[in-house]
Structure 1
Amino acid sequence: MIGRRRTTGLLAAVTLFAAMSGCGAPDGARQAATTPSSKVEKARIKVGVLPVVDVAPLHIAIKNGYFRNEGLEVEPFIVQGGAAAIPGLVQGSLDITFGNWVSFIAAEAKGNAKNAGGLKLISDAYQAKPGMFLILVKGTGSIKTLRDLIGKTIAINTFNNISELTTKAVLEANDIDPKRVTLKEMAMPDMEAAIERNVVDAGFMSEPFITRAQRSSGQLAILDAASGPTDGIPIAGYGTTGRFLQDNPHTVAAFQRAMAKGQRDASDRATVQALLPDYAGVDRDTAKLVHLGQFPTSLDGTRLQRVANLMKTYGLLQTDLAVEPMLVRGPDN
């Protein structure tokens, strides 16, 4: 696939594999190859993405040449959600994918990527702020209060992901048993129309779909899913497999360096806003109104462990899981 590497490259990969096997950093976190001049093993990589605000830094990094400067060409590939993308990682049709932390953690706990060296988290992407994770309902419908959600159907983009976790957590925080609500899997771009046609009663949306549904259909927010127990929760990032990391340590490190620059640039709202019409398919007026979260520039094990702990609390994990061994520290972490 990548040809015979130079001896130094092979030694770096072997050393990294030994560290991943438990002979490296004592805290369990691993670090990708850090030398900027190291030649990448795979110059063209396929990265799973969603047409959501969360991936703006990746598009910024592409546009500004950050990947190109690292010797990489990134091919974005649209996926429905993190859980749906993980089989692509395991099978090798994707090299890296964007996904919510819940999907990565749940898949690792189930051993879904065991034959591919497990799942490795390589770059943070997005963290919640108020107004960016909303459950919307029909503006002219019968749902007026949270209690009206009982017995109703809420669309989420995939099961075992951040939308399922935060929906259950905030419902329970508002004295509504999550078991009294039906969750239905549906692609996020389809939710607005499904609500209007009464296929579902509500939809869990992120931006830019929130603002678009509010502007074009007059849909209303009935619940902020990034509030109470999920306030400020880490949402999503990028992951790969241990097998890909073992074979391509310099490629992963180059990806991390480029993404860190994209994440940094995304702190400027105007930069994100200008890109949304191109990759998310929203008009420029809608792009001006979207609610933005935070774009972290480094992986934080303590923050991500909070996600795993909430998953255990709300039944998305059956046993405790330590997130730290999944982390691959970037060159600047």
Structure 2
Amino acid sequence: MKFARLSRVSLGGVVAAALALSMTACGGDDKKSANGLEKSEINVGVMPITEGAAIQIAIDKGFFKAEGLKVKMRTITGAAEGLPLLKGGSLDIIHGGHVGIIQAHTSGAFKLKILAEASSMTKNLNGVLVAKDSKLASPKDLAGKKIGTNAKGNQNSLLLRATLAPFNINVNEDKDVVVAPFPAQEQLLKSGKVDAIIVPEPFVTQIQQTIGARVLTDFSSGPTKDFPITGFSSTDEFAAKNPKTVAAFQRAFVKAQALASDRSVLAAAMPKFTKMDPKTISLINLPAFPTSTNATRLQRVADVMKQFGYLKEPFDVKPMVSQNG
């Protein structure tokens, strides 16, 4: 059985929550700034991972302030949590995986605008880990094996499908995938309840260190080489009503992205919104931090989604991308 798309139940829950919130939630401060921004304060949801570091860096370095913009940051787990808050108005911009954002947009439940690319794939940024004494030696050995990950039908599932395609392997998601939060994946592997786990950094590095796990494969080659992973998005309505605010956010974000690959800068910023300590930050594999947002690059995400059944029809991402840089 092939990997499932985002389930109707989970997507329906997101839509229902969004509709409820849209009736009750209120947005950020609407007062205009001295330099003509439509909003001088915005609320931004950020995942507590390296890909979200640019927001904290831009706050610390005064890049947002220089644009006349005050950013209030709130940590979120990703698009599934952030989308209802975005639609309800309690968040203006959210950080999430491009796969989830495109799925939500094409479903018709949300009309979204991608404002900035936050990260793209590098070696061992995400990976399939196995126990140090595992007999699994290559991706083809995953056929029929139990695999742990954080959700079904999500971006990790798509990355795995693309990686296994050359071996003609389909994973039975209902039977063989064990769902648990990323912090619980180490125990799943250690206990032998699964044969492999799919995790992103910092878990790739941490689990190798703590139990001697090894990387069976990563997602940095083939159809997902340099693959765009996460970005920052708003509703289409917010972007249309607040073009100067969006442009100010983008300018400050790009400046911060240019610094994000400096581990000393990361070491100062990340403990403020994650539980990562400076030692971990010094060891983990870093993503690429794009300093522009490009529809041609993001089109690859939609194309791979269509290839593996995450989209029913071809989708042109250009109208939903606010290109910059």
TM-score of the two chains, using structure 2 as the length reference: 0.82
1:275 match: secondary structure: helix
Equivalent residue for 1:123? Answer: 116
User: Does the 8 Å contact 2:48/2:77 carry over to 1?
Assistant: no
Name the residue aligned to 1:9.
none
Cα distance in structure 2, aligned partners of 1:197 and 1:72: 49
How far apart in 1 are the matches of 2:242 and 2:178? 38
Rate the CA distance shift 1:308–1:275 in 2: closer, same or farther, 3 A.
same
Contact 1:138 1:220 in 2 (8 A): yes
Alpha-carbon separation, structure 1, partners of 2:131 and 2:70: 42
Q: Is 1:187 matched with 2:181? A: yes
Which of 126, 129, 142 is matched with 1:136 structurally? 129
What is aligned with 1:207? 201
Q: Which of 168, 171, 189 does residue 175 from structure 1 map onto? A: 168
Provide the C-alpha distance between the structure 1 equivalents of 2:60 and 2:29, rounded to a whole number of angstroms.
Answer: 29
Deviation at 1:58, TM superposition (A): 1.6
Report the Cα offset of residue 53 of structure 1.
Answer: 1.4
SS in 2 for 1:102: helix
RMSD (Å) for aligned C-alpha atoms = 2.5
Q: Deviations over 1:201-231 (max 9, x none)?
A: 3322222121111112222211112222211
Question: 1:324 deviation in Å?
Answer: 0.1
Name whichever of 127-136 and 67-76 sits farther off.
67-76
- Give the conservation status (yes or no) of the 8 Å contact 2:79–2:97: yes
- Residue 299 of structure 2 aligns with which residue? 305
- Three-state SS of the structure 2 residue aligned to 1:80 is coil
SS in 2 for 1:329: coil
- Contact 2:28 2:90 (C-alpha < 8 Å) held by counterparts: no
Preserved contact between residue 153 and residue 202 of structure 1 (Cα < 8 Å): yes
What is the CA–CA distance in structure 2 between the aligned matches of 1:123 and 1:111, rounded to whole Å? 21
Structure 1 letter corresponding to 2:201: E
User: Which residue is equivalent to 1:102?
Assistant: 99
| Cα distance per residue 1:113-163 (max 9 Å; x no partner) | 1xxxx1000011111111211111233455444344222333333445431
**Is the aligned partner of 1:217 residue 2:211?**
yes
Change (3 A) 1:59 1:190: farther
Please identify, of 257-266 and 172-181, the stretch whose mean Cα deviation from structure 2 is larger.
Answer: 172-181
Task: Confirm or deny: 8 A CA contact 2:144 2:171 kept in the other structure.
Answer: no
**Which piece of structure 1 moves more, 125-134 or 270-279?**
270-279
Structure 1 stretches of at least 4 aligned residues deviating more than 6 Å after TM superposition:
1-6
Contact 2:96–2:230 at 8 Å: present in 1 too? Answer: yes
SS in 1 for 2:209: helix
For CA contacts below 8 A with separation 6 or more, give which structure has more relative contact order: 1
SS of the residue 2:72 aligns to = strand
Structure 2 unaligned blocks of 5 or more? 1-26
Going from structure 1 to structure 2, the CA distance change for 1:5 and 1:54 (only over 3 Å counts) comes to closer
TM-superposed CA distance for 1:285, in Å, is: 2.4
Percent identity between the two aligned chains: 36
**Equivalent residues, number:** 298
Q: Do residues 245 (structure 1) and 239 (structure 2) align?
A: yes
User: Residue 327 of structure 1 aligns to which amino acid in structure 2?
Assistant: V
AA matched with 2:273: Y
Structure 1 residue 199: deviation in Å?
Answer: 4.5
- Tell whether the 8 Å contact from 1:38 to 1:250 is kept in structure 2 after alignment: no
C-alpha contact (below 8 Å) 2:29/2:39 kept by paired residues: no
What is the distance in 2 between the residues matched to 1:64 and 1:174? 47
Equivalent residue, structure 1, for 2:15: none
Compare 177-186 and 62-71 and name the one that shifted more.
177-186
2:47 alignment partner in structure 1: 50
Task: Kindly state the Cα deviation for residue 263 of structure 1 after the two structures are TM-superposed.
Answer: 0.7
Q: Does 1:72 align with 2:66?
A: no
Q: Deviations over 1:5-35 (max 9, x none)?
A: 78xxxxxxxxxxxxxxxxxxxxxxxxxxxxx
